[in-house]
Amino acid sequence: MIAAQAALETKMLLRNGEQLLLTVVIPTLLLVLFSSVDIVDTGKGKAVDFLAPGILALAVMSTAFTGQAIATGFERRYGVLKRLASSPLPRWGLMTAKTASVLVTEVLQVVLLTVIAFALGWSPHGNPLAVLLLLILGTAAFSGLGLLMAGTLKAEATLAAANLVFLLLLVGGGVIVPLDKFGSAGQHVLGLLPISALSDGLRDVLQHGAGMPWGDLGILAVWAVVGLAAAGKFFRWE
């Protein structure tokens, strides 16, 4: 039942034009545009080496947080979640299916963006295990926050808030603009955000060949625990 629901969730996500815009089109355009045109000072080295890790982090956020929050919010509004909750599929099974759908979509995103980044001259380094841990914890953190938003706000409010957060974190989360451009105080505050921890962690590993980024992993782990716990406690099915 979980596998069937996960397959259905994935098909629905990939058929949704707005979701595809968030998960595929926007990250791809940003990667190609900012790698090809010298708009933002990304420091020494090729722009794509700085941008690719940040765009991968953005892809995770767009699927696990923004896309999932909006889709789940409207499913809740139209009574879909209420009906599914009364079906033989248990509630934990439904959430597991949604998580599996997010992971499948992210795999497709990562493959697509990696191929494009390589075509643009990307030269990644580092430990693949560290990258995998960052992506998993980032997914958990954003999923918890997305479900919390979808389960507590009205669908229209979720739509507006999720898109607003997406835009704000795109600009101030170290995805395209380096955090050191925001000054010392701003850098320390913004560095505690999940998108900043994920993009900086991926950048440390893939661009600079660093080992396990324990600090960034720790930040993501805290967000994951807090977000998932809060979503489990406050999520309303109706």
Cα separation of 119 and 111, whole Å? 12
What number of other Cβ atoms are within 10 A of residue 126's Cβ? 20
pTM > 0.85: yes
Q: Tell me, what's the pLDDT at 227? A: 92
- pLDDT for the residue numbered 107: 92
Model pLDDT, residue 17: 66
Contact status, residue 145 vs residue 194, Cβ threshold 8 Å: yes
Please give the Cα distance from 46 to 117 (Å, whole number). 11
Report pLDDT for 14.
74
- Spatial distance between the Cα atoms of 162 and 92, rounded to a whole number of angstroms: 24
Find the helix packing angle between 91-119 and 47-61, rounded to 10°: 160
pLDDT in tens, the chain (238 residues): 888 888 888 887 777 767 777 788 899 999 999 998 888 877 778 899 999 999 999 999 999 999 899 989 988 888 888 887 777 877 778 778 888 888 888 999 999 999 999 999 999 988 999 999 999 999 999 999 999 999 999 999 999 999 999 999 999 998 998 888 888 888 889 999 999 999 999 999 999 988 899 999 999 999 999 998 998 889 888 7
Round to whole Å and give the CA distance between 58 and 167.
10
In terms of residues, how long is the chain? Answer: 238
Residue-level pLDDT at 223: 97
